[in-house]
Amino acid sequence: MNIILMGPPGAGKGTQAEMIKDRFPIPHISTGDIFRDAVDKGSELGQEAQKYMSSGQLVPDEITTGIVEERIAQSDCEQGFLLDGFPRTTAQAQALDQSLSRLGKKIDLAINIDVPNELLIERLSGRISCQECKRVYNLSYNPPQEQGKCDSCGGELVQRSDDRGETVAKRLEVYSQQTRPLLQYYGKQGLLFNIEGSCGSSQVFTDIQKKLESL
């Protein structure tokens, strides 16, 4: 089962990916997480990625596609994978198709979680996550039991630097210019599954689960 999870920043892709991963035993590959880990480690990749992430821009396609190509060729992806936040440009989608065809694989479904912009801004500005285990909370909808502390591991809760003010606006603009056109790319191939994401995460997951079980 080779799945793509799409949607604007703040649509709930990370939350759904966690729920999908618990129910279906396939690795969750988030390019955003890969870049954030590299930034935390201060690696060469991290230093390069940070230049783009801090201003809400996309990391160049050559860097991003190379990382995903290597990752999906690993043995734990033999039974499938869940791509979260990739592809984000038409060039990335085409590169993914080429890599998959070399591996004798194909995409089975592209799930798109759609949420109106006003709600995205509200969600992103209240989003905090655990520095240790990466669990995500929202100050308005899903606050931690103890302020600033992760319910799961006790780690410190912080706001992502790119969830602040102008960077959020830039990320939404980049999404609508460079990523939204991909909905047509997958729609034309009959692979697109659209989901209304303004309702609660468990309702969204129920719909996704039904669809994945029918594949």
Q: Report the catalytic residues.
A: 13, 88, 127, 160, 171
3-state secondary structure of 91: helix
Is 52 among the residues that bind ligand AMP (CB under 6 A)?
yes
Total residues at the site for ligand AMP (CB under 6 A)?
A: 17
d(C-alpha 86, C-alpha 145), whole Å: 32
Nearest CB to ligand AMP, comparing residues 64 and 138? 64
Burial class (CB in 10 A: 0-12, 13-18, 19+), 97: middle
User: In terms of Cα–Cα distance, which of 92, 94, 115, 134 is closest to 9?
Assistant: 115
Is 32 among the residues that bind ligand AMP (CB under 6 A)?
yes
User: What does the DSSP assignment read for 10-64?
Assistant: TSSHHHHHHHHHHHS---EEEHHHHHHHHHHHT-HHHHHHHHHHTTTPPPPHHHH
Contact residues for 180 (Cβ-Cβ < 8 A; gap 6+): none
CB 43 to ligand AMP: min, Å: 15
Binding mask 176-215 for ligand AMP (x = CB under 6 A): ----------------------------------------
Is 171 among the residues that bind ligand AMP (CB under 6 A)?
yes
CB 59 to ligand AMP: min, Å: 4
Longest dimension (CA), the chain: 49
Output the residue with the shortest Cβ distance to ligand AMP.
32
Structural contact between residues 109 and 3, judged by C-beta atoms closer than 8 angstroms: yes
Binding mask 149-168 for ligand AMP (x = CB under 6 A): -------------x------
Is 86 among the residues that bind ligand AMP (CB under 6 A)?
yes
The single residue among 7, 8, 9, 197 that binds ligand AMP, judged by CB under 6 A, is 9
Q: Which residues contact ligand AMP by CB under 6 A? A: 9, 31-32, 35, 52-53, 56-59, 64, 85-86, 88, 92, 162, 171
